[in-house]
Amino acid sequence: MKMTELPDLPTKLERLEINPVEDGYVVFDPQTDIINYLNPTSAVVFELCDGEHSHSDIIQAVSDLYESAFVDDLVANALDQLKNSGLIA
């Protein structure tokens, strides 16, 4: 799978309204009037998109939380979906 081109240090967009829910986040973008639901893994990745963590930093942090052979793919998919949803730059 080809990942969408991302900046070296992904960053959440400031305009977003982020609401924690029991099993992830609900994120509203008032500019587009779109609501996105983030599952727990995507929520962790999203939190690490603070402009200070690189892709490899995010992979390492998620690896520390989850014991899975597929962490690289999970993070790549989450970053790709976050970018395509317009939630990170």
> What is each CA distance from 75 to 28, 35, 55, 86, in whole angstroms?
21, 21, 8, 16
pLDDT at residue 66, as a whole number: 85
Q: Whole-number mean pLDDT of the chain?
A: 91
CB–CB of 23/2 below 8 Å?
no
Task: Return the closest-CA partner of residue 88 out of 2, 38, 36, 14.
Answer: 14
Select the more confidently predicted residue: 2 or 64: 64
Q: What is the mean pLDDT of residues 61-68?
A: 87
User: What's the pTM value of the predicted model, to 2 decimals?
Assistant: 0.89
Task: Return the closest-CA partner of residue 58 out of 34, 82, 35.
Answer: 82
pLDDT at residue 1, as a whole number: 40
The domain limits of the chain are 17-84
Element (H, E) at 36: strand 34-38
Q: What is the mean pLDDT of residues 56-68?
A: 90
